[in-house]
């Protein structure tokens, strides 16, 4: 496709947002985008709104009890906040 590496690798998200919009508006109407994480190189999925109804849960688990959650939270330096 000829997508510049800065689209997925830059911490500035303006270029990635512009590409996402262009892909979303493309005539082929893709369901989303598969791209490498700039943080850890793992594969990420961005599912467009028009495709959400095509998704189905395979298994439901409580987030707080999910295996590996603490590792992911620590690696990505994020926090879970109770807003209730």
Q: What pLDDT, in 10s, does the model give residues 37-80?
A: 877 878 989 999 999 999 999 988 888 888 899 998 998 888 88
CA atoms within 13 A on the CB side of 51: 10
Is position 81 within any domain?
A: no
Confidence of residue 32 (pLDDT cuts 50, 70, 90): very high
Other CB atoms closer than 10 Å to residue 7's CB: what's the count? Answer: 18
- Is residue 33 assigned to a domain? yes
Residue 64 in any domain: the answer is: yes
Q: What percentage of the chain's residues is helix, strand, coil (to nearest 5)?
A: 40, 10, 50
Token output for 1 = 């496709």
Domain count within the chain? 1
pLDDT band at 1 (very low <50, low <70, confident <90, very high): low
Is the residue at 56 inside a domain? yes
Print the domain residue range for 57: 5-76
Q: pTM score, two decimals?
A: 0.62
40 assigned to some structural domain:
yes
Tell me, yes or no, whether 28 lies in a domain: yes
């Amino acid at each position: 496709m000829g997508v510049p590496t800065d689209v997925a690798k830059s911490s500035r998200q303006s270029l990635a947002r512009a590409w996402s919009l262009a892909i979303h508006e493309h005539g082929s109407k893709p369901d989303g985008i598969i791209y490498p994480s700039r943080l850890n190189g793992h594969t990420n999925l961005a599912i467009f709104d028009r495709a959400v109804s095509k998704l189905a849960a395979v298994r439901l688990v409580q987030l707080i009890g999910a295996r590996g959650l603490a590792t992911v939270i620590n690696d990505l330096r994020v926090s879970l906040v109770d807003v209730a």
